Structure 1
Amino acid sequence: MARAYDPFREMERWFADAARTPTSAAMPMDLYRDGDVFVTRIDLPGVDPASIDVDVDDRTLTVRAERKVETTDSQKWLVRERPAGTFARQLTLGYGVALDKIEAQYADGVLSLRIPVAEEAKPRKISVAHAGGATEIEGSLAS
């Protein structure tokens, strides 16, 4: 029995492992597939858009962002729950994605990445040509 090949299985496994790290608290993420595109949304409230860096090296997509704390000498912290500093999250991408067509957009504190499925990874029908043509039976042509 044929088994469907899922080039994103490794990426999904990595996301599950990453969900158990402290980074997930600072950069919570959703991931879903919408047709031929994987979409990830990463919450980055309070992050300067200029500090967001997204790059791909081999099959690893890395998102880095910095959230700065504005402090003055007269401040006395009573509660400080919002994480600050530089955060990074890495995603291992499968071989079935179009790395050159990844799109990123930051709006309302959410970074959205659209990772399209590569054309060669999309399922397609293969037509079967019939090699047998007309055959001759006792002097007459039959097909």
Structure 2
Amino acid sequence: MMTFYYNFPRRRWAEMREAMNRMMEDALEEMQPQEREMTLAVDVLADDDGYTIRALVPGVRSEDLSIEALNNTVTIRGEFTAPEAGAAKYLVSELPVGRFVRVITLPTALEPGKTEATLKDGVLTLRIPKAEAHRPKTIEVKVG
């Protein structure tokens, strides 16, 4: 069976791309800062005893954060708030504003009750131990 392809002229592709760009720019301009969904940047480190998660949350207060750990999943929720502009109008609004949720799935089960969370200089640090069954055990070798 033969397959036929229609070759769109390059000009038509360029026109379509420009129209899509204009449409997206118009939609983003109409959005208020608090309507944007935020992505939370994280680092996840692992060692024999557990995991360390560091998340950038500049300007977020500890009372605006919620952390849940269940099985092998950690969920971080929070909200970036913007200072009031007053009578001024935003010309550029790039600072993070709005609610965020980040779900991190780890390779092993966790001990949620032993999780420690600290917030310092805009960095949230979680220390979550692995479940006892997933920690390495040292086995003594007996002679004889």
Report TM bin, short chain: 0.5 to 0.7
Task: Give, as a single letter, the amino acid of the residue that structure 2 aligns with 1:87.
Answer: F
Q: Residues 88-138 of structure 1: CA distance to partner in whole angstroms, max 9, x if unpaired?
A: 1011234443222111111111110001122221222456889xxxxxxxx
For 1:111 and 1:97, locate their aligned partners in 2 and report how far apart those are by CA, in whole Å: 18
Give the corresponding residue for 1:110.
123
Name the structure with the higher helix share.
2
Name the structure with the higher strand share.
1
- TM-score, normalising length from structure 1? 0.63
Task: Give, as a single letter, the amino acid of the residue that structure 2 aligns with 1:64.
Answer: R
1:92 corresponds, among 101, 105, 118, to 105
* Identity within the alignment, %: 34
Cα gap change, 1:71/1:125 in structure 2, threshold over 3 Å: closer, same or farther? closer
Give the corresponding residue for 1:121.
134
**Consecutive unaligned residues in structure 2, runs of 5 or more:** 1-35
For 2:140 and 2:39, locate their aligned partners in 1 and report how far apart those are by CA, in whole Å: 50
1:63 corresponds, among 55, 59, 76, to 76
Give the corresponding residue for 2:55.
42
**RMSD of aligned Cα (Å):** 2.8
- Conservation of the 8 A alpha-carbon contact between 2:72 and 2:110: no
Q: Residues 51-96 of structure 1: CA distance to partner in whole angstroms, max 9, x if unpaired?
A: 1010134543211111111224411212211120111101123444
- TM-score, normalising length from structure 2? 0.62
Aligned residues: 109
Q: Following TM superposition, where does structure 1 have runs of at least 4 consecutive aligned residues deviating by more than 4 angstroms?
A: 125-130
Give the corresponding residue for 1:81.
94
Cα gap change, 1:45/1:99 in structure 2, threshold over 3 Å: closer, same or farther? same
